[in-house]
Amino acid sequence: MVNHPVIIPSAAPSLKDKDPDAAPPVNYDMKFEETSVAEILKALEAAYGVKIKFDGEKMSGCIITAYLKDEDLFMRLQVVCDLIGGSYQVDGDVIKVKSRGCK
């Protein structure tokens, strides 16, 4: 597993760096079959107690199947982003997911 540092302003109370320990661990598998990315991001938001912002309209056509097992929050976000050709950015205590959308 590779950890990449992220510089966040010191005013950010929740996600200080891209350390898997920065968000509470989720010790269960998350399996999604033909599920909207919006629903998956909301599930991650609830599971980790973080705020995830995304453009619901752009991602409305993004339906994926993913089995998220033994990954931390950031690895799970990366899997989802890879599947939709998107990316994410930590901005203070908010995670912003960007994508051009799916067709």
pLDDT at 83: 94
Q: What is the pLDDT of residue 8?
A: 39
For residue 92, is it within any domain? yes
Does any domain span residue 93? yes
Give domain status of residue 52, yes or no. Answer: yes
Residue 46 backbone dihedrals phi, psi, to 5 degrees: -70, -40
Residue 91, domain member (yes or no): yes
Nearest to 92 by CA among 8, 22, 18: 8
Q: Which domain holds residue 63?
A: 27-98
Asked if residues 98 and 87 have their Cβ atoms less than 8 Å apart, the reply is yes
% helix, strand, coil for the chain, step of 5: 25, 25, 50
- pLDDT tens across 37-48, in order? 999 999 999 999
Asked if the structure places residue 13 within a domain, the reply is: no
Is position 15 within any domain?
no
* CATH code: domain of residue 39: 3.55.50.30
Give the full edge-to-edge strand order of the sheet including 94-98: 51-53, 94-98, 87-91
Answer whether residue 89 is part of any domain.
yes
How many helices (H) does the chain have, and how many strands (E)? 2, 5
- What is the domain count for the chain? 1
